[in-house]
Amino acid sequence: MATSTRTDTLPFSWYSDEEVLRRERARIFARSWQYAGRAEQVAAPGSFLAADAGGVPMLVTRDATGELRAFLNVCRHRGAVLTEGCGTRSTIQCNYHAWTYDLDGSLRNAPRSEREPDFDRAEWSLVPASVGTWGPFLFVNPDPEAVPLLEHLGELPAILARDIDVDGLVFHSRVEFGANANWKIVVENFLECYHCPTAHPGFSAEVDVHPDRYLLEAHPAFSAQFCRAKATGERGQFHLLYPNTGLNVFPGPPNLSIGPVRPNGSGRTERYLDYFFAPDVEDGWLRDFFAFDDQVGREDTALVESVHRGMAAGVLEQGRLLLNSEPLLAAFQAWVAERLDAA
């Protein structure tokens, strides 16, 4: 398991510096597996899905032969984003100058290119990327040479399977939200429950957050948290797949939410969670669950926005981690620093 002995935090300036974000996009997001949506969205030949990988536009297609493919969602002509949303179509056409691509990424037509004596369509196909599925989940990686998704996931599927069968879940809905805070602050808030007794009274009333029983594990590619409900002893687990995919399984009937933490500039983070449940979960439990989850989310938004304001003020250079309570923060920050220092 991955561990870190660092007690100093990353420099606070790293949380508001646009140059740091540029390096993160190049060294982290452009080389990482990230949640992109549901596998069923691109299950049929002719289907496509546009996604965002930490600021890198991505396109996933299922071509006419049934092969799942991924590309940078950027036109090879002048760099326009090609498409949004998802659906079914036979080609992808840029709405700027009508360059048109087949779903296998090859350039089908570039208007007026016949007037160019040295224009070779074969040289201007979409730039390929990596794509993979795990159960009902779809992941992308802008790096075409990335290790396969399941290899990257490591022990995570087996750990999750202790409490839930992902193939037995059914998609329910997507909830979108965001925060005026750097993406790393949002991730780090997710990686510890040290703040739970103070900031999440409702969560702490339901879940045992005692440090001897709320368990933390650092792994090479993800961080894991394990808990139990006070009343029933039912188990829950929360994971961050580096760098920015969160997975949540709360104690109770089979449930899972998953989604990315996406930077939108150095001071804004956009998020969504896709919620999956067992088909027979009762409507009353779902209403209570979403109200509970929304309350915890609102509390976390206030926390991370406060942290961002304090860090961005520029009055402190960095902070101090408590390794017994915040080992997953130490592991995540070491992971980030290793990649940025290599830039």
Boundaries of every domain in the chain: 34-145, 151-341
CATH class (in words) of the domain with range 34-145 = mainly beta
251, 262 contact by CB (below 8 A)? no
Q: What are phi and psi for residue 226, nearest 5 degrees?
A: -130, 140
- Tell the burial category of 181 from Cβ atoms under 10 Å away from its Cβ (0-12, 13-18, 19+): buried
Closest CA to 267 of 57, 29, 15: 15
How far does CA 298 lie from the centroid of its chain?
A: 19
Confidence (pLDDT) at 341: 85
Confidence (pLDDT) at 343: 43
- Blockwise average pLDDT, block size 10, the chain, 343 residues: 79 97 97 98 98 97 96 98 97 98 98 96 98 98 98 98 96 98 98 98 97 97 98 98 98 98 98 98 97 98 98 97 97 96 61
DSSP state letter for 341: H
34-145 and 151-341 have identical folds: no
CA atoms within 13 A on the CB side of 81: 12
Q: What are the C-alpha distances in Å from 142 to residues 33, 84, 161, 233?
A: 8, 17, 28, 41
* Residue in this structure with the two tokens 């979960």, named with its chain if needed: 281
CATH class (in words) of the domain with range 151-341 = alpha beta
